[in-house]
A and B are shown apart, each in its own frame.
Chain A
Amino acid sequence: EAGVTQFPSHSVIEKGQTVTLRCDPISGHDNLYWYRRVMGKEIKFLLHFVKESKQDESGMPNNRFLAERTGGTYSTLKVQPAELEDSGVYFCASSQLGDRGNEQFFGPGTRLTVL
C-alpha cells in the first residue's frame, strides 16, 4: 500500500511568487492534515480536513495560505505571495476516520525555500 506522498520534494522560489504544494493521502484516509516546521522551531499544525471539509484551520498563519481538498482525495496548499518567513518543511499526514488518537501517517515533506 502506498504511503502519503508529497510533491514537490523541494521548491525554491523568489519572494512574492506563488507556490502550490500537493499531498496525496493514503487511500481511504478521510482525515488529512498539514503541518510545517520553520527553521529551528517546532512542527506546527496548520489545518485538518475531513474528506473535503475543513474541520480545523486554526493553525493557518494568514490569508496568504489557501488549502483545498476537492473531492476529498488529494490536497493542495497554495502560498501566494510567498514571504521569506514561509521557508520551512511542510508535512502532510493522513489518518483513518475515527477517534482523535488515530495514528497519523506522514509524507516525506516539501522543503520550501523563499529567497
Chain B
Amino acid sequence: AQSVAQPEDQVNVAEGNPLTVKCTYSVSGNPYLFWYVQYPNRGLQFLLKYITGDNLVKGSYGFEAEFNKSQTSFHLKKPSALVSDSALYFCAVRDRDTGGFKTIFGAGTRLFVKA
C-alpha cells in the first residue's frame, strides 16, 4: 500500500533563510512524487513533481525538491524563504507500477516564515 509521511507538523524559518520541508514515502513500485501548497480557504495548487530523470526537480516560486530513492525521500527546499511562502504544504505519491491512478497525500506541514 502507498503511504506518505511528513514528520513535522510545523516548520518555522526566518525570512531570507533556507527552508526544508521533509517527506518520505512508501510504494510497492516506482513512484511519481508531488508537492502541493494550500493557502487559507483555498484548494491545493501544484508546485512540482518528480516523474523520471534528474533527481533534482525545480518548480514554481523558486522551490525545488530532491528525489532520493535509497532513502525514499522527496524533501522540499528553497534557498531563501519569503513571508509569502507561509502556507500548508502537502507531499503526495502515485504508484506508477499500478497505473498511477491513486494519489495518496501526507498529513501536511505548516510553514511559517517570520519577517
A is bound by B: no
- Name B's A-contacting residues (CB within 8 A): none
